[in-house]
Each structure stands twice: as structure tokens, then as C-alpha cells.
Chain A
Amino acid sequence: MQVIIDNLPLYLNGLVRTLSICLYSGVLALVLGIIAAGFRVSPLPPLRATGTSWVNVLRNCPLTVVLFFMAFGLPELGINGSYFWFGTIGLALYTSAFVCEAIRSGINAVPAGQAEAARAVGLTFGQSLSLVVLPQAIRTVIPPLGNVFIAMIKNSAIVGAFGVGGDLFAAGDTLTSARGLAVLPVLTGVVLGYLVITIPAGLLLGGIERKVAIAR
């Protein structure tokens, strides 16, 4: 325990760094995922095909390979940047495929009869989308989307393993290899750091899920 208390600033820096990777990646993944989901449910075949390939490529490729591609492939093309941004964007690209699938499952979970009923009572397309379909789709999507973001928080450790520097994983690595401190307490601190994020996130998610659940 003493090790954790002694190096508290390092751990806290790591926690903040991990959270900032997650924040940037999360926002970007949400935007890309919504666009991809829009493509996948659109009536136009070329857009559907694009969305489908986007999802299948990124979902079946290990995050490690995506990150290696970002970190070592892009500089070959003359695109230079910090590992922080390569890692964050790579994580966002990977996560966007799962966001897309979660959102699509939500849209598909709304029974077609709901939209038909909305049109039957005379609502316009915009009204039926915003008043009938989307509110149901969003509530259905919250649990899977939450799981995706919790998984993303955990995946941010892989970004850290790439030597982004300063995140929780890196903090553990520094303390054990560079400073040669006892391994067990140091890594216990790292694990606690992640649990501090993931367990409350899971509880919050469960709470929201119960609150917005639709009885069908």
C-alpha cells in the first residue's frame, strides 16, 4: 500500500491521462459510429456497402494492429504526429465500428409497426423520426453503447502499452521496470486505477438502464 501512497501523483497523472485519451476517443468514436450507422441503414446500396466494410474491417482487426498501423504506417506516408494522437485516433477508429453496431441494433429493435402507426396518424417523416422512432432507439441503445464505452476505457490501456507515456499503464511500467519497485503493489495500484473508472461506470450504466428500459 505504501508504494501506492508514495507514488500517488504519478498514479493520478496516469488516471487523468487515461481519462483524456478516453474522452477524445469516445467523442470521435461516437461521431464516426453514428455516421457509419447512418450509412448502414440508408436506402442506398453504395453507402450500405461502405458502412458494412468499415464495420467488418475494424471489428475483426485487433486493436494492436490498428495502432501499429497508425504509429508506424502513417509516418511512412509523411504523416507525422505524437503517439498520443495516433493512439487516440486509432482507438476511436476501432471503437467506432462497435458504436455503429450498437446504434444499428437499436434502430432495428424498434418495431416497424411503430413507424407505420406514426405515419397513419399523420406525422411527417421528421416528426415520426424525432417523436416516435429515435426516442425508442436511443433508449434501447444505451446498455450496449455503455458496454462499448466501458470496453473502450479498458482498451485505452493498450494505447498506453504503445508508450504513449503518462497513462495508467505507463505509470505501472515506469515504476516496475525503471525504478525497480516491488511488482505486486505497483500493479495493484494500476488495477485499482482502472477499477475506479470501470466499476462506477458499470453501476451508473445499470442505473440508467433500469430507468429508461422500455417494457415491450
Chain B
Amino acid sequence: MTSSVLYEAPGPVAKRRSLVASVVIGALLLAVVGWVLVQLGAQGQLSAEKWAPLIDPTNDTFGPLWTLMGQGLANTLIAAALAMVFSLIIGTLLAITRLVSTPWYRWAVVGVVELLRGVPVVIAIFFASRVLPSFGVDLPALWYLVIGLTAYNSVIIAEIVRAGILALPKGQSEAAYAIGLRRSQVMTSVLLPQAFRAMLPALISQLVVILKDTSLGFILAYQEVVRQAQVIIQNLNNPIQTYFVVAVLFILINYGLSKLAVYTERRLSRARQGKLATIELQQTGAAMGD
């Protein structure tokens, strides 16, 4: 923390003062947490009756409950994985064709990107689930969710990939042309592999966004984890406890993915100092997505 702009490395007096302040604030925070727990206890929210089915393996409902939750989690991961794969394929195609095509096509892609980026993802999913059936396309809820998520995320990924390709030094493609590669070869064997490598952290962060957005499957009654939680709550009447567990599941998975993104980023930037800084800056804030 010595490099912070806001304060300097503390001396002995400041160290003592900050230790005292830390202890006082720490005690205050613990008091707040304690107060919340007491309040929850007073409302009967800490009772075994509400928690046992979720955390006690000897409870009768523990087994069926976690089977249900496990199915929900599996469905969440399936939807997220499908959406990620389709978004990657379509996004990459959009990015490449935009870079090599004629102006009218470029403008068409820009239009599509701007349009889909401005539409909330929940509307995209809702749109898919209502409009496709009216054209006679009848699919399981999973596919409406995947189509909606893909529509939204493919344009984001297209922009990520494009930024990755544009950030490469010009010498890369010049050298490739110089040794006689064709345009498609330059793209597929020189530019894309490097762009993907540089963009890996941003792509992993996007996976977090997709995973979170699968929870919107509840508007389609797709049986992902949040939907299963609703079923559990209807039977056990313990919304606080069940949503708490669902939140913990999501936070653990997504926190893990975020850490993976940071780790990859660090490894890559060690390999090629500096180059990634600009890209990273472009991507800040984009991770919020949805």
C-alpha cells in the first residue's frame, strides 16, 4: 500500500493510531453483525426448522432438496456453457468479418452491435420466448434462454475480440503477409490466436456475466437454480435461508472465475509486459454487462 496516492507509508505514531482505530472499528463492525444475528434470532430466522433441510444431512428433506438444487445448478451451468460457446463462435465471426469486409457490411455489423448492446438482456430473453413461438418456432425454455443470452453476449464478445486483434502490433500481420500467407491464413493462424490469448481474462469475466444472467431463466420457468429455490421455498417457507444458500453458491462459483481471470491476466502480462494495459482499460466497467 506504500504506492497509494492518498497516504504515505505510516510512521510509528500513525501506525499506533491506525491500530487503535482498527480495533475500535473492528469491534463496531462485530457489534453490528451481532445485532443483526440477534434480530434474526428474535424473528425465528435462525431456527433449526428453517435451516436444517439446507445444511443438516441427517434431515429427511436434505437429500431431495439438494437433488433439486443440484439439478438446478446443472441446468444453470448447461445454459451458461451453451450461451458461452455460441456467443464465442458468433462473436468471433462478427469481429473477423467486420475487420475484413466491405463498408456496407461493416456498417450493418456496427448497427447490430449498437442495437443489441442497448437492449436489456432480460428483454432479449423475453423477446425470444414470445416472438419465436409466434413464428411457429417452438423450443424448450432452455433454448429461448440460450438464444437471448447469445444475442446479447455475442456482440460484447465481438467487441472484445476486435479490440484484441486491433491491439496487436501491425508488424504481426505485415510479417505474415511477407512470408506469403493468404488473408484468411493471416487471420486464423497469426492474429486470432494472439488476440484470444490477450483477451482470455476479459472472456472469462464475460462468463461470470453469462452465469449470473442465466438466473433470468425464472421468467421462462426454466428450471435453473433460482427457479428450483422458488420451488423449495413454496414447500418449506424459508425464503431468507434458501436465497442465502443460492447466493453463496453463485458467489463461490463467480468469485472463483474472477480469480481465474485475474490469475490468467497476471500470467499473460508477465509474458508480455505493458501490452495488455491498454486493453484492460478499455474493458473496465464492461464486466458489469447484463
A interface residues, Cβ below 8 angstroms from B: 41, 43-47, 50, 56-57, 59-66, 68-69, 72-73, 76-78, 98, 102, 105, 107-108, 110-112, 114-115, 129, 133, 143-148, 151, 154-158, 161, 169, 172-173, 176, 182-184, 187, 190-191, 194-195, 198-199, 202
Pairwise interchain contact A102-B250, C-beta atoms closer than 8 A: no
Extra pairs beyond A143-B284, A190-B123 (14, CB < 8 Å): A56-B251, A69-B239, A77-B43, A98-B285, A108-B5, A112-B5, A147-B288, A151-B288, A158-B122, A169-B120, A182-B134, A187-B126, A198-B117, A199-B114
For A198, what are the chain B residues with a Cβ–Cβ distance below 8 Å? 117-118
Q: Is the CB of B289 within 8 A of A191?
A: no
Known: A154-B119, A187-B123. A62 touches B212 (CB 8 A): yes
Q: How far is the CA of A182 from the CA of B135 in the complex (A)?
A: 11
Which B225-247 residues have C-beta < 8 A from chain A?
226, 229-230, 233, 239-240, 243-244, 246-247
Number of A-B contacts (CB under 8 A): 171
A3: min CB distance to chain B, Å: 13
A194 engages B22 (CB within 8 Å): no
Q: Which of B56-64, B139-147, B163-171, B214-222 contacts A (4 or more CB under 8 A)?
A: B214-222
8 pairs from A and B in contact (CB 8 Å cutoff): A43-B18, A62-B215, A65-B215, A69-B244, A73-B239, A182-B134, A183-B134, A195-B115
B108 in the interface (beta carbon within 8 A): no
B133, closest chain A residue (CB): A183
Q: Does B275 contact A (CB under 8 A)?
A: no
Most chain A beta-carbon neighbours within 10 Å: one of B43, B131, B288: B288
Interface of A is mostly: helix
Q: Is the CB of B288 within 8 A of A98?
A: yes
Which B-chain residue is minimally distant from A68 (CB atoms)? B243
CB–CB A115/B6 < 8 A: yes
Interface residue SS majority, chain B? helix
Task: List chain B positions with a Cβ less than 8 A from chain A.
Answer: 1, 3-7, 10, 18, 21-22, 25-26, 29, 39-40, 43, 45, 114-115, 117-123, 126-127, 130-131, 134, 208, 212-213, 215-216, 218-219, 226, 229-230, 233, 239-240, 243-244, 246-247, 250-251, 253-255, 258, 284-286, 288-290
If A157-B122, A172-B126 touch, does A63 touch B6 (CB 8 Å cutoff)? no
- Whether the Cβ atoms of A73 and B10 lie closer than 8 Å is no
Question: Within the complex, which residue of A64, A105, A190 is in contact with B216, where a contact is CB–CB below 8 Å?
Answer: A64
Q: Known contacts A72-B233, A76-B43: does B218 contact A64 (CB below 8 Å)?
A: yes
A144-B226 CB under 8 A given contacts A62-B215, A63-B290, A76-B43: no
